[in-house]
Chain A
Amino acid sequence: MSTSISKRPRRAGRSAAAPPPGAFNPAALRADFPLLQTTVHGQPLVYLDNAATSQKPQAVLAALLRYYSNLNANIHRGIYQLSAAATAAYENAREKAAQFIQAPSAREIVFVRGSTEAINLVAASWGPAHVQAGDEIILSEMEHHSNIVPWQLLSQRTGSRLRVLPITDAGELRLDELENLFTPRTRLLAITHISNALGTVNPVKQIVSLAHARGVPVLVDGAQSAPHLPVNVRDIDCDFFVFSGHKMCGPTGIGVLWARGEILQAMEPYQGGGDMISSVTFEKSTWNETPHKFEAGTPNIAGAIGLGAAIDYLTGIGMEQIERYEHELLAYTREKLSAIGSLRLIGTAKDRAAVLSFVMDGVHPHDIGAIVDGEGVAIRTGHHCCQPVMDHFHIPATARVSLAFYNTRQDIDRLAAAIEKVKEVFA
């Protein structure tokens, strides 16, 4: 498979034309990903479910192996050299995560399992201290279930309520409605940066400035933005930002909660246990400083180190490059899919990234997914953990293509050919 990719024919004007020397070269990057060299149903895998999870480059796999082979020890507790080295590697990954999102300090980076746990942490710890009966939290209609349910749990516990910013039929936020949603009881606005179901890129900086003008803090769900564009939390000016390592070339089970230092410091611990305390007696315990206060127990040390390696890999390519290339590839994908009759795109926002959802006349998305899988093309079908979005468009599910920088025009051509197969079967 790798040879068929690296020795692509150079035919001018064709999608298979080789990039000019020195340019961003996805075909070369593909070689870094062992899983992209495999076959499915006898065909080279075309992986287009990156919004669910990305594939992992050799550099990340090697970092995991290196940690377990050479560095494995528990952190923050051993006086011996090995433990000190493991601690340094873990804390070094925290520095990398901070730099990746331009956070002012690594002490504001809390390692968690992923975006879901990060949001739950904020809802469980920050929530009860700031949200009381009758208070309100604003979400949008395009949120992932993980940015809905934790707030629902909080509102059930506190007697507060959720208010929902609607979306248009293009899949854009109805920002004109936002002013009406703010009330003196608004305590938080939680919003996704990029929709995993629609691909919409939300103007989070503008939203934050509107919210801050009302004294309302903002949580940004960066699960889909961290892998696809440069993130600068100081520029966005949000108060919380969450992302998942596994969607950006890192391992599963590791992710990040970033929050402003003063907010984190004022927050109560999320879970109790080892490492998060500074002293324990049966009468009273005192908490370790941030971020350790929020990392009870032995954390995912290997995962954090793997995430650090993933960040090095991505920044080595350059997030601006990745954003620019994926933008082009998304335009190509759109063009290709739009040319297929009977296919309707769901989500046509002006500002979009990496994700394209669609439905086909007379064919359920599940059948689309099964038939393209038979052609070696992996896409996601279903509600994408966004049932309110499906309800908005009155559909049970969509088929979703989600890109990464290692996808190529050839991948999209294979996808388009596979969709033609779907039409054949259901003709």
Chain B
Amino acid sequence: MSDLRELYQQTILDHTRKPRNFRQMPDANRAADGHNPLCGDKLKLFLKIDDQGVIADISFVGAGCAISTASASMMTEFLRGRRVVEVAGLFEKFHDMVTRPLEAQPEAAALGKLAVFAGVREFPVRVKCATLPWHTLQAAIKKDQAPVSTE
């Protein structure tokens, strides 16, 4: 049970109960749908990217498990005000953090509060939950029309 506590950190549970930036965005200039068929997680992500390529606003709606909801909530907080060109590198670091052993992550510090998701690495089936918001984000940035699926 100790490692489950690693997974369900208080910060994560807090974001699950009260997701931040949980709202529609009628004037978004990017949006994408994400779906994890394994557990039925569904989310819709909204972005407003300004002329300088900065994420001026970001929000989401949907229904998902604790891990995917908290991941979406914390991702939106983390990314507001950052430049779109940074996203790919941050996602790579996040992905490494939830999939690779601790030693192999010299750059985890760059992820700030998102480090609470490090516990996911002990639960391979939950990697899809934690990364679904990020995959959806990438699709929104690329303006992909097809909904993202983790399967």
Contacts and interface: CB of A to CB of B under 8 A. Distances in A.
B39 A381 contact: yes
A371 B40 contact: no
Given A396-B40, A397-B40, A375 B1 contact: yes
A426 B42 contact: no
A365 B126 CA distance: 13
B7 interface: yes
Contacts of B8: 367, 371, 425
Contacts of A363: 66
A370 B4 contact: yes
Contacts of B78: none
Given A362-B17, A425-B8, A426-B13, A382 B40 contact: yes
Contact of A366 (B3, B17, B129): B129
B1 A364 contact: no
B41 interface: yes
Contact of B126 (A370, A383, A421): A370
Given A370-B126, A374-B3, A375-B1, 12 more contacts: A364-B39, A364-B63, A364-B64, A364-B69, A366-B38, A366-B40, A366-B66, A371-B8, A383-B37, A396-B64, A421-B1, A426-B13
Interface in A316-369: 362-367
Nearest to A362: B17
Contacts of A374: 1, 3-4
A90 to B, nearest CB: 36
B65 interface: yes
B90 to A, nearest CB: 25
A421 B123 CA distance: 18
A382 B39 contact: yes
Interface in A1-52: 41
A178 interface: no
A390 interface: yes
A366 B4 contact: no
Contacts of A364: 39, 41, 63-66, 69
Contacts of B37: 383
B126 A396 contact: no
Contacts of A365: 39-40, 65
Contacts of A397: 39-40
Nearest to A383: B40
A382 B37 CA distance: 8
Contact of B4 (A371, A390, A396): A371
16 contacts: A364-B39, A364-B65, A365-B40, A365-B65, A366-B129, A367-B8, A367-B67, A370-B7, A370-B125, A374-B3, A374-B4, A390-B40, A396-B39, A396-B64, A397-B40, A425-B13
Contacts of A370: 4, 7, 123, 125-126
A359 to B, nearest CB: 11
Contacts of B69: 364
A346 B123 CA distance: 28
Contacts of B17: 362
Name the residue in B4, B39, B129 with the highest tally of chain A Cβ atoms < 10 Å from its Cβ.
B39
A382 B38 CA distance: 6
